[in-house]
Each structure stands twice: as C-alpha cells, then as structure tokens.
Amino acid sequence: MTVATNVKKCLASLKSAQASLKQLSIETGHPHAKDTFKKASDTTLRIIDRIEQRLQTLEREEPQYKGY
C-alpha cells in the first residue's frame, strides 16, 4: 500500500469522525456536551484541512499517486 493510499484512508476516516462529532453537537441537548462536540469537530476539521494540503503536496511531488 502506498503512502498516498494510507493518507487518503486516514483522511476518509477523519471526515467520517468529524461528521459524527458535528451531528452529535447538533443533536445533544446538554450545553456542555454540545460545546465539547463542537470544539472537537472544529479541531478535526482543521486537521483535515492540513492533511488535504499535505496530500496535494504529495500528489504534486509524486504524480503517480494522483487519483488513487
């Protein structure tokens, strides 16, 4: 398995986790839990952005990984 494939799988997992955290922040009625889930969702989104940037760099430096 290539590095790019591993990064893309990790990215997909993070996106799923971020969506779950966002949904939990919307559905919960407890204010403290809502805030905690929102902060976790926002942090995960920032991590996703950084990994997507890294993936773009990886694909630019190693064109054979693009599109996998």
17: nearest Cα among 43, 50, 56, 52? 43
- Residue in the structure block whose two tokens are 């929102």: 38
Predicted confidence pLDDT, tens digits, the chain (68 residues): 688 889 999 999 999 999 999 999 999 999 999 999 999 999 999 999 999 999 999 888 877 766 65
Taking CA 24 as the corner, what is the angle to CA 15 and CA 22, rounded to the nearest 5 degrees? 40
Q: Supply the pTM of this predicted model.
A: 0.86
